[in-house]
Amino acid sequence: MSEMVKEDKETRENLSFNDFTSEVLKDYRIANLSRQLSIWGRKEVLNGKAKFGIFGDGKEVAQIAMAKAYQNGDWRSGYYRDQTFMLASGMLSSEEFFAQLFGETQLDKNPANGGRLMNNHYASRSLNADGSWKNLTQQKNSSADISPTAGQMPRLLGLAYASKLFRDNSALHNFTDFSDKGNEVAFGTIGDSSTSEGHFWETINAAGVLQVPMAMSVWDDGWGISVPNKYQTTKSNISEVLKGFEQDETSDGYLIYKAKGWDYPSLCKMYLEGVELCRKNHVPVLFHVSEMTQPLGHSTSGSHERYKSKERLNWEDEYDPIRKMREWILSMELSDEKTLDEIEADALREVKEARNTAWKNYSEPIQKERDALIELVKNAGCDCKKTEQIEQIVSDLKKIIHPVRKDNFTAAKKILRFICSSCDSYKPLKSNLQSWLKSSLAENHERYSSHLYSETDLKVQNVKSCPPLYSKESKIVNGREVLRDNFDQLFNKYPLLLTFGEDTGFMGGVNQSLEGMQKKYGALRVTDTGIREATILGQGIGLATRGLRPIAEIQYFDYLLYALQTMSDDLATLQYRTKGGQKAPVIIRTRGHRLEGIWHSGSPLSMVINSIRGIHVCVPRNMTQAAGFYNTLLQSDEPALVIEPLNGYRLKEKMPDNLGDFNTPLGIPEVLEDGSDITLVTYGSCVRIAEDAVKQLRDFNISVELIDVQTLLPFDIHSRILKSVKKTNRIVFFDEDVPGGASAFMMQKVLEEQNAYYYLDSEPRTITAKDHRPAYGTDGDYFSNPNAEDVFEIIYDMMRESNPQKFPSIYTD
C-alpha cells in the first residue's frame, strides 16, 4: 500500500482532507451501486422478467476514474460494459438501468433507446422532440451503442476528428451549440479481445495519422468469453503491441498509459493526466487497463466457471476492484468498516427500489391493457363469448403472471376467429375487437417501428421541388463539370459542409469532379484520406453526429463493401435505435456500374439495399441528376448513398443555370419515354442501354414507356409505375445486378405493394446480369452484363406472345 499512498500524495495536497474523503466515498458508493445493479439485473433475467443481460461487473473502479476526466461537450463511443461510467458521469440512473433491461418503451423512462436495444447500450439525446439540435456543449454526450464487437470504433474516429475541425477551422467557431472551439475529447472503450478486430486497427491507425483528441480505453480482463488473451493478442498485451504507435521526439503518435483495474488512486491519476494532454494538445491517448475481473461471467447466457480454473477464480475474487478499493480506503484511514458497510447497504437499497419502480412502470400499462381486453370480451352482449374456445383463451390470458403485449395481441386475434357470425349481437364484439387491434397496432408501430427514417420537418420528402433551369446561354459540358461547379456552390452555401476520401483533395477526385475545390476551400474541407473505407464512413458518421455535414467519398462502389457492416449496423439504424434521439445525416458518395472486369463493375445493389434500410439509396443516370440529389440531401436531415454512374463523367450534359439550388426528388420516378405497349423500368447506367433498345424497338412499331426510378430507397412513393402498367399491361424490370437481385426488389414493390399484377396481360420479366461478375474486356462485358440487344429480344418476345402474326419469330423458329 506504500506505493499507492505515495502516488496519491499529489492529489491529496490539492484537496482538503474532507473534500478528498467525500469524493472517495462517493466513488465507493457508485462502485457498489453498479455492482448491485449487475447482480440484481442478472437475477431479473434468470427469473424471466428480462430477456438477456450483459453487465459491467469488474470494470467499476476504472470507469469511475475515467468519468472524473469527462466534461460537458465530450463524447463517448463505447461498448456494452460501460454502465459504471454512465452512472459516474451522470448519464444513467438506477431506474433507467432496469427500464432498459426490461425493454421499457417510454422515452421518459428509457431515454437511451426506448426499448429498441438490449441493456447496457446507451445514448444521450442530442435532439429535441422536433428533431432540432440541443446545445451539445452543455451536456455530456454518448453516441449510440451497437453490439458488434469493435463496431463503435469507426464512429469514434469521426467524433474525435470533429474537435480537430472545430478548433482548426476558424469559420466554425461560431457554431457554439456543437463545439467549444474543439475543446472536446472523444472517449472510446473496448474489451481487450475485441482489439483483434480490423475496425480497431484501422481506427487506431487513422487517429494516429490525423492526431485527434481520442482517449481510448481497453478493458483487459484476460478473456474474450471463453478464449484467453494468448489466442487474441500478440504477446497477450495490447499496449506492448502498440508501442510502435507511441509518440517520440521525432514523430507524432499516441501517448500510452497502463494501470491495473483494481488500483483506484493510480487509475485516477492516469486518467486526469492523460485526458488533459489529449484535450489540450489534440493527441490520441491509449489507456490499457489490465488485471480486470468479471465476477458474474460474460453474460446471463453462461457461467465462467466452465472455462476458468479454480486458481483464476480465486485470483479474481482476491483482486476484485471493489474489494481492493475498500482495502485501500481503510489503509488510508479515510473511513471505517461501519461506514463502508452502511454505504454498501444504502447502494443495495437504491437498487432494489429502482428495480421495483422500473418494473411497476413497465408492467402496469401492459397489465391494464390485458385487463381492458378481458373486460371488453366479458361485457359483450354476444352469447358466443361463452364458447369453450373463447373462454379458454380468456382464462389462459388471466393466468399469465407477467404478460407482455404479445400475449394480449395473440389472445385478441384468436378470439376473433371464434366469434360466431350468425347471431344478432356478434357485431359489437367483433367490431370492438377489430378496433382494439387497429389502435394497438398503431401504438406498437410507434413503440417498435418508428423513426427508421426522419420524422421531422426536415425529412427528405419535405424538400421543395426545384428543377434545373436552362437558357440559351447554358453550355454543353462534360458531366463532371456539372458536379464540380455544383459542389463549388454548395461549399460556398453551407459552411458546415466538408468532403474527404481517397484522392478527393489534392487531385480533386479520380474523375476530377472536385477539381480546384481544395485550393479554393482549404484542406480541412476538401481532404485526402488513407485507403481505409470503414473509417472513412466512420469519420462521416461521427462528424454528422456532432452537427457537421460530411460527404464521405468511397472511391468505387465495390469498395463500399469494406464499410457495409458499419453502414448496416451503425448508420442505417441510428435514428431507429435511438427512437429519434440522434441523427447523422452523412452523405456517402461513390461511383459504380458498367465497367469491364470483376472489380469496379459496381452493381451488387441487392446486397446493399437489403442491408441498409434507414439510408436512402440514389442511383442517378447522369451527373445533373446526381448533383440534384446532393442539393436535396443537404436540405434534409437524413443519411443517403449516392452512386454516380462511372461511365458518365465525360459524357456531354447541359449546365444548369441554377447550380446549388435545383434538386432531384427522392422516390419519384421519371418517365423518359411515353409508350403504350410495354413498361420498361430501370436506373443508373442501364438507362442509356435502355434508351438504345427503345429506339431499336420503335423501328418495329413497339412503343415502350421507359421509366427511370431514380432512387431505390425510397422507391416510387406515389405509384407512378402502376399508372404506366394500367396503360401498357406489360412490364419489364432491367438492371445489371445478379438474377433475383435489385430487379426482384423492384418487381416486389410494383407487383405486390402496388398491386400491378392485377393489370398484367403478360408474365412480368426481369433482365439482369449473369450470376457471376462481369468478365474482362469489351466482349466480356457484353456477354456478362445485359445489353441493348438483350432488352430488345425480351421485349420483342413478349409482344410476339400476344400477336405472333404482327411480330414473327426472329431468333428461333
How much is the pLDDT for 9? 47
309 CB contacts (<8 Å, ≥6 apart)? none
Helices (H), 104-152: none
Question: In degrees to the nearest 10, what's the CA dihedral of 480, 485, 490, 493?
Answer: 180
Number of Cβ within 10 Å of residue 714's Cβ equals 18
Closest to 57 (Cα-Cα) out of 265, 337, 300: 300
**649, 654, 660, 664 alpha-carbon torsion, rounded to 10°:** -80
Residues 6+ apart with CB under 8 A from 766: 732, 733, 734, 739, 743, 744, 747
Cα–Cα dist 201/219, whole Å: 16
Tally of CA atoms within 13 A in the half-sphere of 808 that contains its CB: 1
Cα–Cα distances in angstroms (integers) from residue 427 to residues 381, 424, 432, 434, 667, in the given order? 10, 7, 8, 10, 41
Question: How far apart are the C-alpha atoms of 158 and 540, rounded to whole Å?
Answer: 6
pTM recorded for the entire structure: 0.95
- Cβ contact 187:140 at 8 Å: no
Q: How far apart are CA 82 and CA 143, in angstroms?
A: 13
- Measured between alpha carbons, how far is 775 from 598 in angstroms, rounded to an integer? 6
Helix (H) or strand (E) holding 264: helix 264-281
**Whether the Cβ atoms of residue 547 and residue 178 lie closer than 8 Å to each other:** yes
- Residue-wise burial string across 771-803, b where 16 or more C-beta atoms lie within 10 A, e elsewhere: eebbbeeeeebeebbbbbebbbebbbbbbeeee
602 backbone φψ class: left, alpha, beta (φ>0; ψ -120 to 50): left
Question: CA geometry: angle at 179 spanning 178 and 181, to 5°?
Answer: 150
Residue 64 to residue 259: CA distance in whole angstroms: 14
The runs of H, that is alpha helices, within 336-478 are 337-378, 388-399, 405-417, 426-448
- Among residues 622, 660, 662, the alpha carbon closest in space to that of 644 is found at 622
Cβ distance 429 to 380 under 8 Å? yes
239 vs 451: CA distance, rounded Å? 41
pLDDT for the residue 1: 40
Alpha-carbon distance of 514 to 630, in angstroms, equals: 14
* pLDDT at residue 84 in the model: 98
CB atoms closer than 10 angstroms to residue 246: 14
Residue 5 has a pLDDT of: 44
Burial label for 127, CB within 10 Å (0-12, 13-18, 19+), is middle
d(CA 249, CA 328): 37
pLDDT along the chain (813 residues), means of 10: 47 71 97 98 93 94 98 97 97 98 96 94 96 97 96 98 98 98 98 95 98 97 88 93 94 97 98 98 98 89 85 94 98 96 98 98 96 88 71 93 94 87 65 91 95 96 96 96 98 98 94 96 97 97 98 94 97 97 98 78 86 97 98 98 94 97 97 98 96 97 98 98 98 95 97 97 95 86 92 96 92 73
Q: Which residues pair with 188 in a beta bridge?
A: 77, 216
Cα torsion at 657, 658, 663, 664 (round to 10°)? 0
Instruction: Please provide the DSSP assignment of 438-498 as one string.
Output: HHHHHHHHHHHT--SS--STTSGGGSPP------TTPPEEEHHHHHHHHHHHHHHH-TTEE
CA–CA distance, 107 with 650 (Å, rounded to integer)? 51
